[in-house]
Chain A
Amino acid sequence: MIWQLDLLILLMVVICAIATITIRDLLGAAIVFGAYSFLLCLLWAEMGAVDVAFTEATVGAGISTILFIAAIFRTTRRSKD
């Protein structure tokens, strides 16, 4: 566990989380959320939790993002806040 790398990825995770809830376009928010999930996967691989890391990469960053994008295309991209 390298603490410089840990702190760098954690700060990027926090920035991605703030961006996810501030972007008004829902499709953009879903894509930034995918980037957030993949950064979490990097964080877990760096902590030594490789099984959690690859589950998050496939299920969290992959399937979850696809579900969000599919639902947004079937409903609307518009968001007021």
Chain B
Amino acid sequence: MESMLGVVVAKYNYWLYVVLMMIGFYAMIGKRNLVKKLLGMNIFQTAIILFFVSMGAKRGGGIPILDKEAALAGAVKVAEVVNPLPHVLMLTAIVVSVSVTGVALAVLQRIYKEYGTLEEDEILDKIGRS
């Protein structure tokens, strides 16, 4: 039982990522304002990006930039640098999340021009499907 507690405490960052992800999920489902929903979606995405990047982190690991002479002379000590593969994958995810935000905000402006409000229930009232 004590080792179980040790595992829970040692991976504290994963639990906090789950909390962040659920905050974003609540904002996407529970909030009525469309901008609030979009902010929640952004929080959700960044929680997942945080999870992936932290999987590549190592205790005592340096940044993944190698000295050229040392790398050519011998083998690279992989235990001393953090894993750069999740970083590269998540770089793409950050750019995708910003483009999604841009397109969603453009759609929101169009909705505001059409209905004069950004509240979900007022829009549903106006299109007669409350």
- Residues of A whose CB lies within 8 Å of any CB of B are 1, 6-7, 10-11, 13-14, 17-18, 20-21, 26, 29-30, 33, 36-37, 40, 43-44, 47-52, 55-56, 59-60, 63-64, 67-68, 70-72, 74-76, 79-81
B27 near A72: Cβ-Cβ < 8 Å: no
B residues 35-66 in Cβ contact with A at 8 Å: 35-36, 39-40, 42-43, 46, 49-50, 53-54, 56-65
A21 near B31: Cβ-Cβ < 8 Å: yes
B12 near A7: Cβ-Cβ < 8 Å: yes
A-B pairs, 3 with minimum CB distance: A71-B105, A48-B82, A75-B112
- Residues of B whose CB lies within 8 Å of any CB of A are 12-13, 16, 19-20, 23-24, 26-27, 31-33, 35-36, 39-40, 42-43, 46, 49-50, 53-54, 56-65, 81-82, 86-88, 90-91, 94-95, 97-98, 101-102, 105, 108-109, 112, 117-119
A21 near B108: Cβ-Cβ < 8 Å: no
Pick the residue among A14, A40, A47, A49 that contacts B19 (CB under 8 A): A14
A29 near B35: Cβ-Cβ < 8 Å: yes
Residues on the B chain within 8 Å of A29, using CB: 35-36, 39
B23 near A14: Cβ-Cβ < 8 Å: yes
Pick the residue among A10, A21, A63 that contacts B13 (CB under 8 A): A10
B108 near A47: Cβ-Cβ < 8 Å: no
Question: In whole angstroms, what is the CA distance A52 to B63 when docked?
Answer: 12
Residues on the B chain within 8 Å of A17, using CB: 20, 23-24, 43
Question: In whole angstroms, what is the CA distance A10 to B53 when docked?
Answer: 14
A52 near B87: Cβ-Cβ < 8 Å: yes
Residues on the A chain within 8 Å of B95, using CB: 55, 59
Residues on the A chain within 8 Å of B90, using CB: 49, 52
Residues on the B chain within 8 Å of A56, using CB: 94
B46 near A37: Cβ-Cβ < 8 Å: yes
B33 near A80: Cβ-Cβ < 8 Å: yes
A6 near B20: Cβ-Cβ < 8 Å: no
